[in-house]
């Protein structure tokens, strides 16, 4: 290091003229011990305690802990905005505690909530919570949950819920969302999930489809086979054979009038027995939501036309496949 680098920095006259120094008028110390108290917004002399300034601006990062427990919290300046709600969402919340048990804070919280909260927003928040809870119970993906929330918000914005059960609207929104995301659920599955009558869901579904102009598509057997086979712990090969059987069965005249769900269930029954990994009608009925009698009656039609269905393309897919395994 050179001698020039070791010399102390000397301020020029211009530097001294334009520099701002803050010292305590009591201590007159050229190197003051000034403390910035951001909690009270004051500048305080650390030696004598004289308040040198007030209303100072906190220039630190706005990270703040909103959790009840002490420690690091990644929350930054409150919660993130909810895209499914309207408005700025910058509400003031009065805490319920901190009044030493007088109950005043709780009364203020209730009164403040009644005067500031909008009924429209309260209904949306409650409906969103119910949609999330129902979908979580069936492990339905978040993408479908978001679509269901968007559909419900359209219903609320256009005031289509008048005269309709709110539970039926939520069930229909989930049903529509599953179809739009190419992961359809049957009416019976939605009934079991939401505890809403099938007829109510069907009527509300048709009403919302016509009013919202939602693109729902159609539910085919192939959309259901993969999920049913997975729930029955069947192999990928069984799923592929079932898919081929279903495609061939659709072309049969004898099976016209049967629902895609019944055809898919009967084809799963046939494919599982064909390769020697059979599932009984009751197990398939519990998963697919189709009656045992319906599965067996549809299977009888398929079995009677097995020569037409069991093509070499199907029989050659698995060495264990044998017509003698069928019952």
Token reading at 102: 């007088």
Q: Residue 119 has what pLDDT?
A: 61
Contact yes or no for 138/193 (Cβ under 8 A)? yes
Tell me if 136 sits within 8 A of 162, measured CB to CB.
Answer: no
Asked if 145 and 131 touch (Cβ cutoff 8 Å), the reply is: yes
Distance CA 104, CA 302 (A): 73
Give the pLDDT score at 6: 45
Helix runs in the chain, H state only = 3-6, 13-18, 104-116, 119-137, 142-157, 166-180, 187-194, 198-212, 221-231, 236-250, 260-274, 281-288, 292-304, 306-309, 312-315
- Non-local (6+) Cβ contacts of 13 within 8 A are none
The whole-angstrom separation of Cα 252 and Cα 250 is 6
The chain-wide mean pLDDT, for the chain, equals 79
CA-to-CA dists, residue 6 to 1, 2, 9, 13, angstroms = 7, 7, 9, 21
CA dihedral 162, 163, 165, 171 (to 10 degrees): -60
According to DSSP, the β-strands at 51-54 and 34-37 are unpaired
pLDDT at 253: 76
pLDDT at 88: 53
- Size of the chain in residues: 327
- The whole-angstrom separation of Cα 303 and Cα 309 is 9
In tens, the pLDDT along 170-224 reads 999 999 998 888 888 888 889 988 999 989 998 998 888 888 876 766 666 777 8
Note the pLDDT of residue 17: 56
The DSSP result for 159-195, as a single string, is T--TTS-HHHHHHHHHHHHHHHTT----HHHHHHHH-
Task: Using only the alpha carbons of the chain, give its radius of gyration.
Answer: 35
Q: Which residue has the higher pLDDT, 321 or 142?
A: 142
The pLDDT of residue 3 is: 45
Q: Provide the pLDDT for residue 2.
A: 43
**265-274 tens-digit pLDDT:** 999 999 999 9
More confident residue, 119 or 106: 106
**Do residues 156 and 208 make contact, with C-beta atoms less than 8 angstroms apart?**
no
Q: Is the pLDDT of residue 130 over 90?
A: yes
Reported as a single tens digit per residue, the pLDDT across 53-105 is 887 877 766 655 555 555 555 555 555 666 777 655 556 666 766 666 677 87
Distances (CA, A) of 130 to 70, 124, 201, 208: 31, 10, 16, 19
Q: Give this prediction's pTM.
A: 0.60
SS3 106: helix
């Amino acid at each position: 290091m050179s001698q020039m680098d070791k010399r102390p920095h000397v301020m020029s006259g211009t530097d001294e003229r334009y520099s701002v120094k803050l010292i305590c008028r009591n201590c007159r110390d050229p190197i003051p011990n000034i403390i910035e108290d951001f909690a009270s917004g004051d500048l305080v002399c650390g030696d004598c305690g004289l308040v040198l300034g007030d209303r100072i601006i906190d220039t630190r990062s706005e990270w703040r802990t909103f959790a009840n427990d002490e420690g690091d919290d990644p929350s930054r300046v409150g919660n993130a905005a909810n895209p499914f709600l309207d408005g700025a969402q910058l509400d003031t919340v009065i805490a319920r505690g901190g009044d030493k048990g007088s109950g005043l804070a709780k009364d203020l919280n209730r009164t403040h909530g009644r005067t500031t909260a909008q009924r429209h927003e309260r209904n949306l928040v409650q409906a969103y919570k119910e949609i999330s809870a129902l979908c979580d119970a069936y492990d339905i993906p978040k993408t479908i949950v978001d679509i269901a929330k968007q559909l419900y918000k359209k219903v609320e914005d256009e005031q289509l819920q008048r005269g309709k059960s709110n539970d039926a609207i939520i069930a229909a929104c989930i049903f529509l969302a599953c179809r739009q995301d190419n992961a359809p659920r049957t009416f019976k599955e939605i009934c079991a999930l939401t505890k809403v009558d099938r007829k109510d869901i069907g009527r509300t579904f048709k009403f919302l489809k016509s009013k919202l102009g939602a693109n729902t598509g159609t539910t085919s057997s192939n959309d259901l086979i993969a999920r049913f086979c997975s729930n029955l712990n069947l192999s990928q090969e069984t799923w592929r054979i079932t898919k081929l059987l279903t495609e061939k069965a659709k072309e049969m005249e004898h099976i016209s009038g049967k629902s895609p769900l019944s055809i898919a269930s009967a084809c799963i029954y046939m494919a599982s027995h064909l390769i020697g990994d059979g599932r009984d009608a009751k197990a398939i009925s519990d998963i697919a939501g189709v009656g045992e009698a319906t599965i067996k009656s549809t299977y009888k039609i398929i079995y009677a036309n097995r020569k037409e269905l069991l093509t070499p393309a199907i029989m050659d897919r698995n060495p264990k496949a044998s017509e003698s395994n069928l019952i």
